[in-house]
């Protein structure tokens, strides 16, 4: 079963390679979508793929790369807006 989720990660998540780490993990898990910095200082990720794999990725966002310090991860289901061919950094 396919699932699309938007996740908002807060804490020390910008300037610590969080987007590159997210792309690497998403690629390894076979997820589609994107990740970007938000003007609020958060990182936003749009994750699409198998339900189990998307849930696994949301859990992994709590870890992030070594220099990150994640304070919170909030995620919610969203409709798939367009088919993504890969996972990209925006």
pLDDT of residue 82: 63
Known catalytic residue: 37?
A: yes
pLDDT of residue 80: 81
Judged by DSSP in three states, 43 sits in: strand
**Environment class of residue 36 by beta-carbon count within 10 Å: exposed (0-12), middle (13-18) or buried (19+)?**
middle
pLDDT in tens, 14-29: 999 999 999 999 999 9
**Environment class of residue 64 by beta-carbon count within 10 Å: exposed (0-12), middle (13-18) or buried (19+)?**
buried
Q: Which two tokens stand for residue 63?
A: 């870890």
pLDDT of residue 1: 73
Known catalytic residue: 36?
A: no
Which of 12, 37, 71, 86 is catalytic? The answer is 37
Report residues of the chain scoring pLDDT below 70: 82, 84
Which of 19, 20, 71, 90 is catalytic? The answer is 19
Q: Which two tokens stand for residue 74?
A: 């909030």
Domains along the chain?
A: 2-79 (3.30.70.100)
* Structural contact between residues 3 and 50, judged by C-beta atoms closer than 8 angstroms: yes
* Structural contact between residues 66 and 82, judged by C-beta atoms closer than 8 angstroms: no
pLDDT of residue 68: 97
């Amino acid at each position: 079963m396919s699932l699309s989720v938007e996740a908002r990660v807060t804490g020390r998540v910008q300037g610590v390679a969080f987007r590159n780490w997210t792309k690497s993990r998403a690629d390894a898990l076979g997820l589609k979508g994107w990740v970007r910095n938000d003007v609020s200082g958060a990182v936003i990720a749009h994750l699409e793929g198998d339900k189990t794999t998307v849930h696994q990725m949301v859990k992994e966002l709590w870890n992030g790369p070594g220099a990150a310090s994640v304070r919170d991860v909030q995620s919610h289901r969203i409709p798939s807006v367009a088919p993504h061919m890969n996972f990209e950094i925006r």
